[in-house]
Homo-oligomer: A and B are copies of this chain.
Amino acid sequence: MKLNINIAGIEWKNPVTTASGTVNSGKEYSPYVDFSKLGALTTKSVSAKPWKGSQTPRIAETYGGMVHSIGLQNPGIDEFIQRDIPYFKKLDTAIIVNICAREENDFVEVARRLEEASGIHMLELNLACKSDDLGGFRFAQNTKWTESVLAKVKKVTNLPVIAKLTPNVTDIAEIAKAAEAGGACALSLINSVSAMRINIETRKPILASAMGGLSGPAIKPIALRCVYQAYKAVNIPIIGMGGIMTGEDAIEFLMAGATAVGVGMAHFINPRAALEVIEDIEAYMEKHGIDDVVELTGAAH
């Protein structure tokens, strides 16, 4: 039974990674779960300079999910390289570093720094980042911005570059095509869905930033739809994510068109969630006589 996959020349021992932002760089969860058993570890976003992130409260629970505005707090690429790369070297899994930026140049800058560093296998651009240059919109809310930033990053790195897209668009297919045109080796779908909660006692939004991203099983059907639509639109592989809690969820994503999946918020409910997803996929394949996990990709089309 073949569980391993290959995305842009990078071998994953199985089709499961972490969704960026949910396990930081992996260390905090390491007493609970061995991330070396995953196909890949996707880090929290790192930016050129340190970002302090949002004011608190940063999260609010919702029905079957949570809205969050962490504000991409991170120590910046310098400290990231110093602090996390030695840790990654102890792990036996593909390392995907997610990059955030408020302007194109910063995406390029961080990509350049990571190109120089060692022990990194893939980059993932968080194109749900908002930019003042874009009138407060997100990079992946426009085909030109999406293609442009990817093309510029591709120029400075030989690492495969994954484009992580936002579902907060009218037409995910056209954005997916733009990412492919820009040189993305794969798409990560989806980032969180723009949302909010209000505290009816204080009469204020719960999040200090008012709005944030919705994650968790509540959004899984939206994420599946985006993967399904993008699969029809592009030829590059898709890493599906959004509310995956179980192997059944993951298999839905594979059938919708994903080659791999990311497990995110599920870690907060069960730190071993990603491992259990792998086990469940294996059990499903065994039960259904599937020899190679890639047979599941796009099976629902």
Contacts A62-B221, A64-B63, A67-B221 given; does A228 touch B211 at CB 8 Å: yes
Rounded to whole Å, the gap between the CB of A58 and the closest CB of chain B is: 15
Task: Report the contact-size class of chain A (Cβ under 8 Å from the partner).
Answer: 35 or more
**When chains A and B are docked, how far (Å) is the Cα of A194 from the Cα of B221?**
8
Which residue from chain B places its CB closest to the CB of A135 in the assembled complex?
Answer: B171
Contact across chains for B170 and A194 when beta carbons are under 8 A apart: no
Would A221 and B196 count as touching, CB distance under 8 A?
A: yes
- A194, B225: Cα distance in complex, Å: 7
Which of chain B's residues have a CB closer than 8 A to the CB of A284? Answer: 200
Dominant SS at the A interface? mixed
Q: A195-B222, A255-B198 are in contact. Are A64 and B67 (CB under 8 A)?
A: no
Most buried by B among A141, A204, A218, A220: A218
A205 nearest in chain B by CB position? B300
Task: Give the one of A198, A210, A224 with max B CB within 10 A.
Answer: A198
Chain B residue at smallest Cβ distance from A222: B195
Q: Is the CB of A203 within 8 A of B62?
A: no
Q: Among the interface residues A195, A196, A229, A299, which one has the most CB atoms of the partner chain B within 10 A? A: A196
A residues apposed to B, CB below 8 Å: 62-65, 67, 137, 141, 168-171, 193-198, 200, 203-205, 210-211, 214, 217-222, 224-225, 228-229, 243, 245, 248, 251-252, 255-256, 284, 299-300
